[in-house]
Amino acid sequence: MLIRRPDHIRPAEITPRPFYERRRALLKLAGAGSALGAAGLLAAAGRAAEPTLGLEKLPNVARSALSTTEPATAYKYVTTYNNFYEFGTDKDDPMQYAKRLKVRPWTVAVEGEVERPRTFAIEDLLKFPLEERVYRLRCVEAWSMVVPWVGFEFNALAKLVQPTSRARFVEFVTAYRPEEMPGVRLPVLDWPYVEGLRIDEAMHPLTIMAVGLYGEVLPNQNGAPVRLVVPWKYGFKSAKSIVRIRFVAQQPKTAWEKAAPNEYGFYSNVNPGVDHPRWSQRRERRIPELFAKRETVLFNGYGDQVARLYAGMDLKKFY
């Protein structure tokens, strides 16, 4: 179904709001039948060992010392409550429509200011040393999860292509397939989706290319077959279904910057001291909790590792 919006509505206003999300969650719980059922959903938040979709297992995955010790969000929530606008703006749209996406064959071109440009097949990326990284994920809409990603450090890929001294930023371009991605038919963003990092952010050991979660390959709705994960930034910085990576001299213009520059800056670091123009960022709701009752922490709790990247910067100006 093609949904049209009036021209006077800004793209950013399509972003689901926290109270809307809570209303949807409450309605679903009410449909389950009782307060007891709601309590069961809340208790499930800390359970990681739940049935998965039974996708291909990833062999020889090491455990990373960089993981958080917090309990992982249950698989059923990680794979059914997603932002992936290429498949729609509702949280359950990706689960419903992403099955259309064909993830084999798949290639990622790495180019730009590099000595050795190269195109990687997804099979090549799966040969990198893989680790399970249990990272916190904080969404700009004030909800969060803890996800056991499987992936490899971006810097390992960068070393193979050898960035030149002119490379100051890294641009990530995602797939644009209107026949498989119904959301790109909507004028929500300037497609294809583009994200960017400063090169020192990209090369930081916490920045990974994720190819799986919960020990299996990525489900389509979570950004299959390869996505970016930057745990100290808001989740929209984690480009999904990547097809091109470019090392560039100039700061790239990202999708959300173009759509609403007053709301979504280039850096997009988790900062409870900088409110979104339409809601506070001081608290967050850990899925499947119904209310934003957790205090949000600067850099999503990764400040000890990354704060030095922003020494001397005004983080309210460079939001």
Count of beta carbons in the 10 Å neighbourhood of residue 85: 25
Mapping DSSP to helix (H, G, I), strand (E, B) and coil, where does residue 273 land?
A: coil
| Closest-CA residue to 154 (of 123, 134, 133) | 133
Domains in the chain: ranges and CATH: 12-310 (3.90.420.10)
Beta strands at 131-138 and 62-63: parallel, antiparallel or unpaired: parallel
- As a whole number of angstroms, the distance between CA 154 and CA 206 comes to 9
**Residue 313 Cα distances to 16, 92, 248, 296, angstroms:** 30, 38, 22, 20
Residue 282's Cβ-count burial label (10 Å; 0-12, 13-18, 19+) is middle
- As a whole number of angstroms, the distance between CA 257 and CA 236 comes to 11
Q: For helices 35-43 and 18-32, what crossing angle results, to 10°?
A: 120
Ordered mean pLDDT values, 10 residues apiece, the chain (319 residues) = 43 44 44 35 42 95 96 97 97 97 98 98 98 98 97 98 98 98 95 98 98 98 98 97 98 97 96 95 96 96 98 95
What is the structure's pLDDT at 46?
A: 39
| Closest-CA residue to 224 (of 93, 104, 143, 76) | 104
What is the structure's pLDDT at 31?
A: 42
**CA max distance for the chain:** 61
What is the structure's pLDDT at 48?
A: 42
Task: Give me 102's structure tokens.
Answer: 């064909």
Mapping DSSP to helix (H, G, I), strand (E, B) and coil, where does residue 301 land?
A: helix
Cβ neighbours of residue 94 closer than 8 Å, sequence gap 6 or more: 82, 83, 84, 87, 88, 220, 221, 222
